[in-house]
Amino acid sequence: MQNKGAILTFAILLAAVCVYQLTFTWKAKQVEKAAVEYAQGDPDQEYFYLDSISGEVVYNFLGLKKFTYKDVKELEMNLGLDLKGGMNVTLEVEMEDLIRAMSNYSNDSTFNAAIARAKELQENSQTDFVDLFGQAFEEIDPNAKLASIFNTLELRDRINFNSTNAEVLDVIHEETSAAIDNAFNILRTRIDRFGVAQPNIQRLQTKERILVELPGVSDQNRVRNLLQGTATLEFWETYDNQEAYPYLLQANEKIKEMGLGDETDADEVSDEAAVATEADTTSAEESSLLSELEAGAESDTTAALDNLADFKKEYPLFALLNPSTDQAGQLLQGPWVGMAQARDTAKINEYLQMQQIRNIFPRNMFFRWAANSVDEAGNFYRLAALKVTTRDGRAPLTGEVITDARQDYDQMGSNPEVAMSMNAEGSKTWQRMTKENIGKSIAIVLDDYVRSAPNVINEISGGRSSITGLESIDEAKDLANILKSGKMPAPARIIQEEIVGPSLGQEAINSGFFSFMIAFILVLAYMLFFYSKNAGLVANIALIANMFFIIGILASLGAVLTLPGIAGIVLTIGMSVDANVLIYERVQEEIRSGKGIKLAISDGYKNAYSAIIDGQVTTLLTGIVLYLFGSGPIKGFATTLIIGILTSLFSAIFITRLIFEWRLGRNKKILFTSTLTDNWLRSTAIKFLEKRRTFYIISGALIVLSVGSLAVRGLNYGIDFKGGRTYVVRFEQDVQVADVQQALADVYGEAPEVKVYGENNQVRITTEYKIEDNSENIDNEVEEMLMVGLQNGGFIDKNVTLEQFTDEYQMSSQKVGPTISDDIRKESAIAIGFSLIIIFIYILIRFNNWQYGLGAVAALAHDSLIVLGIFSLAYGVLPFSLEIDQAFIAAILTVLGYSINDTVVVFDRIREYLHLHPKRQREENTDSALNSTLRRTFSTSLSTFVVLLAIFLFGGETIRGFTFALLVGVVVGTYSSIFIATPIAFDTQKRIAKVAAKRKK
């Protein structure tokens, strides 16, 4: 074996990386276990414990690098919402509202008709809404000019009456892109402040859509309001730090008098965290703080403090809020009055909002935290003192007056700044504010957090001004987008939503892990049984290494492990056996031909490579298609499938070879069969091609039956494909489906679909009620109607609140809007079609024969139709869900990958036999090839089937339909590779040969 040292080095390095990455998961679980023990069942205390140590070092890797709890959480294995519980939301920025706002809500008939037409076109298109609007505008009136509509006061410097429609559309594209960027930044800031561990927010391929994943959240209404609320941009005058400090000092004394400084928050956890944090600060900072307090406090408190615990009792406010001072202890200028750790901001807010404390400050003084942290770790935030200068207590200037804002550079061209302009009304107010605040700061506040506090140098008239003193271009771009949000409303609406309760998530973890262990043990036992304790043990070592590599790589990539992802891993177990089986069967053939064990192993590996690579690459291509076109859990399934294929190839080919080489070097005995299985399917001589017409008839009958059922019964489409809302509700007692349906029909006006989901006390409710309504509170309204209907039907207590209902009864929910369901249908069709095309092309290239490609694609179409037919015939009959959804599409594509894997192995052996025995009849070579692969087909199919059966029985209700499709697919795929793909390829080649012979004559 060449490059043995390099392969061993790579294996060791890969294992080391996996161990390193998985230690973060282990350490995170350790800390969380301590939090659970500390909280004693109180979730608020558990959250406080974890929040209090988020910035503290909890892991020191080999003394080389220290990691805080926050760092560890970011690097641990990510669990999907279906395993952890939480909320997954897809938001869509309302492009219609953006375009209407840019036109100053024009009443032009052509404009409004074009907007309406663009909305119609969007339902069946993935084209950008602005392009659809431009297309519709041209269709309605080719001579109309967009410039006459968009030549507004705000856009007059970019659009004039001579601007072409194309030029106007370019400006609209730029403005909407900036608005979407701003919406994304606003959402990201809100989520960061929401306090969710491992949140995920990302832009989707469709430009105006944003994906938000919030693991572990339970307050669904708060999240919906948080994500869909309109941003509020305000400009406030400020107090200087030197003006605010005396009041803060009085507030500290008042808090001390009230005895609040003696509280030990969360049983000294906060104290310990504070001590640890203070110990990390420099002595200069401590002395600066102490000297400032000594200078401003009464004489009897000027003595040096013995320790930080005493300091907290004496200065309860300043122990949390470090005043803004320089190294010499002098108060700094500006609106920032202090800095605190993120975990302490809630306590400081609590102090400052107490009526006794509020009475100390001037009535027009209030405080707001900075939106961005001082440090990169996000541990420290500054507090600003703002001033109310209006009679109604509102901000003197809001974002509505901003007409334009863009990132620019100063006169030197080196420092980034933001240039902004205002309308006439805003210009007057801005001129007054800047005139009265020369030398002071004006705070720019978004969603109650200070985004910037620029210092006013001189009076600004005309409404055009620049904000300088920015640290980076990115900061300038973000601030420009924030300022522009006031000019252009960009509401985001939830078009897809999935919520999984924590109890259902824990059940999914338990069932997933249980099914995984059963499947894994069954495969290990099978390999030992079929290939002896010798070679079987080597295969099992490779299999265990494969599992370790998959988990480690998933953690290293930051991939999310979902329940379908677990199914992908378990399926990989079954499929990774295939490479070992191919190698072992080849080695046995070489041994039976009279070769010594060393040469037999070498030639066995060499001759198996072609079938292994071809089979795995076709499945890999299917996994890539799934990854590109799938989303959410399907992408997770595809990720584990792709990683599993790559690691299984490495483990089966190289790790097993290294072990065999090691045993050969020590003259150890190596056996590749057990006495019970040595002759199993060894010398078969089945005439497969003679019986091909019989199998054509059987398959034809199944296809006719499937097509007939699809035409008559159709398919049970899930909400992924038709839109709607689904709720899984668990009751305290068993319920009758018809009774639940009637109770909900009374509130919804139509009967929803209700099915038993697992146990008889758990149902899944699907409704399309108001699914096209995009109003802000519609999701909460439909959910509340669900609760009321169940209360009226006597299924839950009348006194249950909506919050209790979502926490205790509603296990999960899902929403898919009609627009996104259209997109899912299209993406699914494209994924299946694209898979068939790339598989055909790959086989055409590898075998240099289009007949093989035709046979393979025909078999895949055969498999797809039969699986669809079974789902059509069996839905409503079998006691589990057989919906056609994204998971089903993943199952279909996986079936195609598995089926083509089987087919390619057979084709590879046929090609080999035709090369070895060119004088034999093609029919004899084909039959011999099929017989020679029976042992491999049996072993791979049986092990994969057993693995899937374990998932089906023990993997939980949520993926039962998914695994049922895979089970059917394995059976049908194995059948088609032998009885459909090969005969069709043979008959096509035979017919072409006859045609060619006739032409020669």
pLDDT digits (tens, 9 = 90+) for 361-416: 999 999 999 988 888 767 789 999 999 998 888 899 888 788 778 888 877 777 88
- Interval 103-141: pLDDT, tens: 888 889 999 999 999 888 876 666 778 888 999 999 999
Q: How many whole angstroms separate alpha carbon 575 and alpha carbon 480?
A: 53
380 strand-pairing partners: 341
User: Distance between CA atoms of 649 and 657, rounded to whole angstroms?
Assistant: 12
**Euclidean distance between CA atoms 603 and 586, whole angstroms:** 8
- Please say whether the beta carbons of 568 and 638 come within 8 A: yes
Q: How confident is the model at residue 196 (pLDDT cuts 50, 70, 90)?
A: low
CA nearest 28: which of 45, 44, 50, 43? 50
Structure-model confidence comparison of residues 494 and 40, the more confident one? 40
C-alpha pair distances (Å), 847 with each of 296, 616, 898, 909, 987: 87, 15, 19, 11, 17
Mean pLDDT across the stretch 140-147? 90
Neighbouring CB atoms inside 10 A of 1001's CB total: 4
As a whole number of angstroms, the distance between CA 7 and CA 10 comes to: 5
Please give the pLDDT value at position 309: 67
- Residue ranges per structural domain of the chain: 4-76, 90-228, 240-383, 396-488, 501-671+690-713+822-1000, 724-816
Q: Given this model, what pLDDT does residue 291 score?
A: 44
Q: In the beta sheet, which residues pair with residue 492? A: 93
Q: Is the pLDDT of residue 280 over 60?
A: no
- CB within 8 Å of 376: residues ≥ 6 apart: none
Backbone torsions φ then ψ of 415, nearest 5 degrees: -100, 135
Which of 607, 672, 576 has the alpha carbon at shortest distance from 898? 576
Beta strands 65-68 and 78-79, pairing class: unpaired
**CB contact set of 1001 (below 8 Å; sequence gap of 6+):** none
- Confidence at residue 193, expressed as pLDDT on a 0 to 100 scale: 59
Residue percentage of the chain with pLDDT more than 70: 87
pLDDT for 982: 92
| The pLDDT value given to residue 44 | 67
Q: Which amino acid is at 488?
A: M
pLDDT band for 275, please (50, 70, 90 cuts): very low
Query: Using CA atoms, how far apart are residues 828 and 831, in angstroms rounded to an integer?
Result: 5
Give CATH for domain 724-816: 3.30.70
- Give the pLDDT score at 111: 92
Residue type, 753: E
Output the pLDDT for position 278.
Answer: 36
Contacts made by residues 704-709, CB under 8 angstroms, sequence distance 24+ = 705/869, 705/873, 706/865, 706/866, 706/868, 706/869, 706/870, 706/872, 706/873, 707/865, 707/869, 709/869, 709/872, 709/873
Confidence grade of residue 700 (pLDDT, cut at 50, 70, 90): very high
Which pLDDT does position 352 carry in this prediction? 92
CA–CA distance, 783 with 91 (Å, rounded to integer)? 19
Distances (CA, A) of 103 to 98, 108, 152, 154, 175: 9, 10, 7, 9, 12
Of residues 561, 527, 415, 446, the one with CA closest to residue 188: 446
Residues 6 or more apart whose Cβ sits within 8 Å of residue 860: 836, 839, 896, 899, 900, 976
Contact 906, 982 (CB under 8 A): yes
Decide if pLDDT at 268 tops 50. no
Half-sphere exposure of 623 (CA within 13 A, CB side): 24
CA dihedral 696, 702, 703, 709 (to 10 degrees): 170
- Distance from C-alpha of 252 to C-alpha of 338, rounded to nearest angstrom: 13
Pick the CATH number of 396-488 from 3.20.20.60, 3.30.1360.200, 1.10.3720.10, 2.60.40.420: 3.30.1360.200
Q: What is the pLDDT of residues 787-826, one digit of tens each?
A: 999 998 888 888 888 878 887 888 888 887 766 666 667 7
Nearest Cα to 88, choosing from 634, 500, 706, 664? 500
| Among 344, 354, 296, residue whose Cα is nearest residue 321 | 344
Share of the chain above pLDDT 90, in %: 17
Instruction: With CA atoms as reference, report the closest residue to 273 among 340, 203, 372, 196.
Output: 340
Q: What mean pLDDT is reported for the chain?
A: 81
CA distance 485 to 230: 10
Give helix 656-665 / helix 502-557 axis angle, nearest 10°: 60
pLDDT at 1001: 62
- The pTM of this model reads 0.68
What is d(CA 937, CA 149) in angstroms, rounded to the nearest whole number?
68
Count Cβ atoms below 10 Å from residue 124 Cβ, excluding itself: 11
Residue 198 has pLDDT above 70, yes or no: no
| Position 277 pLDDT exceeds 50 | no
The separation between CA 155 and the C-alpha centre of its own chain, rounded to angstroms, equals 38
pLDDT at 603 over 80: yes
Question: Could you read off the pLDDT of 449-493 as tens digits, one per residue?
Answer: 888 888 888 888 887 877 776 767 777 777 776 676 554 455 677
Give 302-341 pLDDT, tens digit per residue.
Answer: 444 456 667 778 888 988 999 998 888 889 999 999 999 8
**In contact, 385 and 337? CB cutoff 8 Å:** yes
Q: Which amino acid is at 994?
A: K
pLDDT above 70: residue 263: no
Strand partners, 397: 235
Q: For residue 289, name the pLDDT band (cuts at 50, 70, 90).
A: very low
Q: Do the first three CATH levels of 396-488 and 724-816 match, i.e. the same topology?
A: no
Quick one: residue 413, left, alpha or beta (phi over 0 = left, psi -120 to 50 = alpha)?
Answer: left
Strands of 359-398, DSSP E: 365-369, 380-387, 397-398
- CA atoms of 181 and 203, how far apart (whole Å): 9
Q: Please state, as a whole number, how many other Cβ atoms lie within 10 Å of the Cβ of residue 708.
A: 13
- Averaged pLDDT for residues 821-850: 78
Find tokens 């060449």 and name the residue: 2
Which whole number is the average pLDDT over 594-617? Answer: 86
The pair of three-digit structure tokens given for residue 351, joined into one six-digit string = 């102090």
User: Residue 501 pLDDT more than 80?
Assistant: no
CB–CB of 839/856 below 8 Å?
Answer: yes
What's the chain's length in residues? 1001
Whether residue 475 contacts residue 408, with contact meaning beta carbons closer than 8 Å, is answered with no
pLDDT at 809: 85
Q: What is the DSSP string of 568-595?
A: HHHHHHHHHHHHHHHHHHHHHHHHHTT-
Beta bridge partners of 759: 757
pLDDT interval class at 889 (50, 70, 90) = confident
In tens, the pLDDT along 573-585 reads 766 788 888 888 8
Query: What is the pLDDT, as a whole number, of residue 301?
Result: 40
Higher-scoring residue by pLDDT: 80, 762: 762
Query: 199: burial class by Cβ within 10 Å (0-12, 13-18, 19+)?
Result: middle
Which contiguous run of DSSP H or E holds residue 731? none
Element containing residue 246 per DSSP (H, E): helix 241-257
- Tally the C-alpha atoms within 13 A of residue 853's C-alpha that lie toward its C-beta: 16
